[in-house]
Structure 1
Amino acid sequence: MMTRARDAFASILLGLFAAVMASHTVYAHPHAWIDLRSGVILNAEGKVEALTLEWRFDEFYSAFVLEDIARAGEVTDEALETLVQENMVSLRDYNYFVEAQYDGKPVALGDARDGTMVEKDKRLVMRFVVTLAEPVDPKTHEFEYAVYDPSYYVEILHVENDLVTVAGPGAGECLATINAPAPDAEAAGLAASLGKNEQGPSGIGRLFAEVVAVTCADE
């Protein structure tokens, strides 16, 4: 039985790999990959108010989705717009797969906005902005966030050697650092043993997630 997080992802993945995996026994999480680019937006008061996210889906999934859309008609800008809006609604209950913390405490998120989806180099690219329910001041305490699928069915990691952007009127002397995950051998072995319809411990994806830390100098 799949996790609720995987079910929420179903609308965005549209039955990911179903046609191929139906006739194969597939083991080891993850089963899909997203190259991530992310950024931090600070308001005029120098507080973090939103995150920008770009999800670049792997070629296999991208082809699967584009073929699915084509069966219902043409792959148009309007069709991709409909898909991204459905994704925004489905992912809201799961915080858009974003976990944010301020001074070590959970940060509530607001709604996503500015969702777009395009095809580039045979890969689907989804971009959107996730707001914080209340802006936080990174000059006072450290702000951190991670983007991951809790079930680890999908691996979400930043593009190699990429930098997290820090923008907005209050960006000032701010720095965002990507900290690599460090799962132990037990966690890695467990993930490798899971079949496509199996779920690991709740939140196993957190062990394989990068954490972005945002700090700002007090001017």
Structure 2
Amino acid sequence: MKPLIPMALAATLCLPAARLGAHPHVFVDVALRFTADTQGRLSEVEVTWSYDDFFSLLILTDMGLDPDGDGTLTEAELAQLKGFDLIEWPDGFEGDLYMYQGETKIALDHPIPTGIALTNGRIIATHTRTFGPVKADALRIEAYDPTYYVAHSLAGPITLPKGCVYTITEPDLDESQEQFRQMLSELSAEEQYSGVEIGNLFSESLSVTCAAPS
């Protein structure tokens, strides 16, 4: 999730994960709300990112917001902050959200910012992304930063249309670390320096199924 990293962290986060070890630097709780069309097919997801308090402080400082440090933003400050994490969207960046139907990746449209708040020192940013529509058959969703600078947690809530259920599969962290070490052992020093994409090794997996509409 490099596009939203403030200048205060840039020097540290420019180092690849391979050199720093498999340890994230920013922590984000993820909530998802899915919307269905009139035929019961999923067609939109509202994504809420709740950033950790330290990263939130760095963002506010970097943007010159909340100068009195009272933890309350004015309407003008909220308007300035809204969409801060969506401004830079380079080619190939997928927004740290991946959806699959079986083995087929579902294309997600560009995000639209819909909400912003500062709650208990944490920035809470919301955006929506449309897709499909698709039937919720063998639907899998993963939220992760490929570089693992940012650790995403599907803390929820996960909100689905009526008739839909979900399960979350946790990664085996010991196995993930072993896979990470194995990847490093097979890379040259130059390849390690350029970074490896390991975020998927440490990500949770959300599976969604919906009953056929009656």
The normalised TM-score by structure 2 is: 0.77
Q: CA deviation at 1:40?
A: 1.6
Moved over 6 A (4+): 19-22, 71-74
Shift of the alpha carbon at 1:187? 3.4
Q: 2:25 corresponds to which letter in structure 1?
A: H
SS at match of 2:38: coil
Aligned 8 A contact 1:164 1:178 in 2: no
Across the aligned residues of Structure 1 and Structure 2, the Cα RMSD in angstroms comes to: 3.2
Deviation at 1:89, TM superposition (A): 3.8
Q: 2:133 aligns with which of 132, 135, 141?
A: 135
Q: For residues 34 and 62 of structure 1, do their structure 2 counterparts lie closer, same or farther at Cα, with a shift above 3 Å needed?
A: same
Residues 47, 127 of structure 2: 8 Å contact kept: yes
How does 1:48-127 map onto structure 2 within 5 Å? 48-70=42-64, 76-91=74-89, 93=91, 94-127=93-126
Instruction: Decide which of 147, 151, 161 is 2:147's aligned counterpart.
Output: 151
The answer to whether the 8 Å contact 2:180/2:198 transfers is no
What percentage of aligned pairs have identical amino acids? 23
Aligned-pair distance for 1:145?
A: 1.2
Count of residues paired in the alignment? 195
The alpha-carbon deviation at position 178 of structure 1 amounts to 1.6
Instruction: Indicate the SS of the match to 1:110.
Output: coil
Consecutive unaligned residues of structure 2, counting only runs of 5 or more, are 185-191
Structure 1: which 5+ runs fail to align? none
In 2, Cα distance between the equivalents of 1:21 and 1:47? 39
Matching of residue 206 in structure 1 with residue 200 in structure 2: yes
TM-score (norm 1): 0.75
